[in-house]
């Protein structure tokens, strides 16, 4: 898709494009999470990343269910937004030496990822309903609920001792 090609003509096209965008993003996230788990020092944060890696693998399966219901092969389209969030996270992490400060940086980066996913799934749920494709809503809402719960868990970790430890 480029500026002059106008490949996205209808809401259906836009829905599929956004589905392919988040499919690509989820696949990139499965590659980023093991590294984040490895970098984390706090055991709860480490476990949180490992748990969310398993959930993310499930998100990919839920998206494949949506593609299947649309009669389409699962396919990703490059998503510069998620690539940028992950790249920035890697750059910041590589510059942090203190383990508590690194944990705070990892939480902040992970929350940027979750918020990106939340916007995408929120949009897809709304569009699926608008297009009358109610059979697509449930798998998308399952992913949305996981992302929101993960974001909430990260907020709790940030507000508890991790950030306090980093400040001292």
- Out of 147, 154, 157, 162, the only residue in the binding site for Fe ion (CB under 5 A) is 147
Please report how close the Cβ of residue 87 comes to Fe ion at its closest, in angstroms. 17
Nearer to Fe ion, 42 or 143 (CB): 143
Give Cα 153 to chain centroid, integer Å: 14
Nearer to Fe ion, 144 or 166 (CB): 144
Please report whether residue 21 would count as binding Fe ion according to CB under 5 A: no
18 touches 120 (CB < 8 A): yes
Choose one: 12-20, 74-82, 86-94, 140-148; the region binding Fe ion (CB under 5 A). 140-148
The string of DSSP codes covering 93-158 is: HHT--SHHHHHHHHHHHHHHHHHHHHHHHHHHHHHHHHTT-GGGHHHHHHHHHHHHHHHHHHHHHI
Please report how close the Cβ of residue 21 comes to Fe ion at its closest, in angstroms. 12
Please report how close the Cβ of residue 101 comes to Fe ion at its closest, in angstroms. 23
Question: Going by C-beta distance under 8 Å and a sequence separation of 6 or more, which residues neighbour residue 150?
Answer: 48, 52, 55, 110, 114
Closest CB to Fe ion: residue number: 59
Counting residues that bind Fe ion (by CB under 5 A) gives 4
Q: Which of 136, 141, 147, 145 is CA-nearest to residue 12?
A: 136
- Out of 59, 82, 154, 162, the only residue in the binding site for Fe ion (CB under 5 A) is 59
Q: Which of 151, 121, 116, 119 is CA-nearest to residue 136?
A: 121
Please report how close the Cβ of residue 148 comes to Fe ion at its closest, in angstroms. 10
Q: Site residues (CB under 5 A) for Fe ion?
A: 56, 59, 117, 147
């Amino acid at each position: 898709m480029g500026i002059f090609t106008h490949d996205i003509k209808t809401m259906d096209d836009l829905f599929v494009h956004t589905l392919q965008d988040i499919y690509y993003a989820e696949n990139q996230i499965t590659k980023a999470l093991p590294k984040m788990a490895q970098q984390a020092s706090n055991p709860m944060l480490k476990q949180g990343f490992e748990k969310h890696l398993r959930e993310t693998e499930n998100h990919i399966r839920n998206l494949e269910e949506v593609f299947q219901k649309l009669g389409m092969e699962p396919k990703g389209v490059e998503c510069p937004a998620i690539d940028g969030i992950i790249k920035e996270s890697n750059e910041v992490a590589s510059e942090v030496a203190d383990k508590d400060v690194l944990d705070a940086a990892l939480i902040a980066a992970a929350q940027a990822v979750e918020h990106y996913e939340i916007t995408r799934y929120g949009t897809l749920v709304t569009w699926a309903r608008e297009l009358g494709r109610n059979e697509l809503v449930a798998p998308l809402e399952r992913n949305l609920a996981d992302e929101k719960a993960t974001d909430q868990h990260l907020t709790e970790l940030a507000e508890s001792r991790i950030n306090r430890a980093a400040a001292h």
